[in-house]
Structure 1
């Protein structure tokens, strides 16, 4: 279908002698290296999707300004601006996750001396530490690029279906990304599995946090949220609400199914979606917040618009996933109680995402590119 310049063929190695100086790691523990190669691949694939997204965005911007309908460039049309704005917001979120994840891994690797005997083990440990984030970036990056490739073809209309235009190749080539480095379905299962295993080992306080939320669900204590006019204050509360929603669903699922949870893949997938949205929302917020600190709310206006656009859409998706999972897990009064708590976590005033997307699209059309450095 795609990547036609790359020849993919099987390579079988059977009883191949390996010189001792060429052995990687310890004999019998090669699987650890193989698994961490997957972590590296997921990290690079997710980050690489940002480049593909930017490339397709430029193509879509160029075509939208060039193509006319009803006497005007289609770039003037609201539905086209909505597509462009959404493409920009998704790219911003994935790019923010890429910066954050690679930065955290680099910090762990700063003290590693590559020539030392322990370098290999220390590098593997650093990658394993952020295996969850690598999987999140892979899934979110590839699915964002798929959306952007699809919308680029749509903006081109019938021309986008022709091999004469780059967006056709872009759509074909990107499709395998959701299969590379472990399918997105496998990675969704892995994200929850890794988090639960860390919790069972006491490395992550997921269960105590979920139990605290369960107590909160029974008491339905008044919300402690207070009005805050600071930039992105509402969005910060939303990100926290999605994180709580993930704990609510995960805790409820573990209590009901225990070891049988692995058979409820739909619930695991929904929980994984909540975890991923939480990481993406927080990453976009952190990036926009740093831009505000370095300049001013006005100087960071485009970052704020991108973050708000992404976060409000993400909250809608998260609420839908949480409701779907809770409806499977609970019933009757317990379900109504959990849904009431979910509404409190994600209570929000709808943002004018139409206006936000228009502003992002106008900025990109003015610059003829993705509007962030």
Structure 2
């Protein structure tokens, strides 16, 4: 990413009053941020409120300082654990997130060099697990990693940390063993007790955050990052959880995204089992071994998990639909996401439109109809 491109994306992300949904509308209408900021106030007013137009025409406070800090962070990247900033229009952006209602505009990523996002399962649970719960998380995660599934969790104390540790123990050579989705900037580690664990994850997995560098561990950030944990996994396993637990939020988000939810049962006398029992009453799959989960997810293992030229050539329509997400999107953004030429994209979009899977909207925008 060139510095000017980085600056434009950060400016959009920092513009007061625009927000993620507003930013996506602007990108769909005008293309990439550099093109967006070249628009006149009159053009911007066709898709933005007067207050948003005024904000877009001014430089956000602290913008230049954040550009400098982010550029320096990227340039200091370690080849063994490279640092990247993935934008919503980047072909390397994780495709499962495009299927969510609120995909992050930017993703800060540090870790094992990889050209694609691996098949994965989310493993979540209590910050204060029982010894058996922590052991279960570690053993299940080790088995998942040995089977080729990356383990996604949140780097928190308790079940999260045990799951990351187990995945690292089962790591396959040159494979992403685990993905830690954090609620701070990637220049910080929270909790500090997991500093060494985060370092190992960056060598054998990925650290991921939607929050800019310097972001402190704010309480409201942690429930929000759960939607990313749920989206990156083909399913979510809850090991132990109380009735009021962030893990149940992750499980609900996974179910809403059409992913499998698994729960390990526990003692009826244990408060840490009540969340899992509630999930089981709601239809989660009861599992006793890692193999139970692997058998449920086996049909998904052969499906492509990331955009690649080979996948696009073999199955252009499904690949293009995944790249579109669910918001209206313009041709320029699709070109950036897919790496496909304008003429080929127009032909594919016409085929999808004739099949009833894509609708053409005013302003040169396209949107999935929900039939794809």
TM-score normalised per structure 1: 0.27
Question: Which of structures 1 and 2 has the bigger CA Rg?
Answer: 1
Structure that is richer in strand per residue: 2
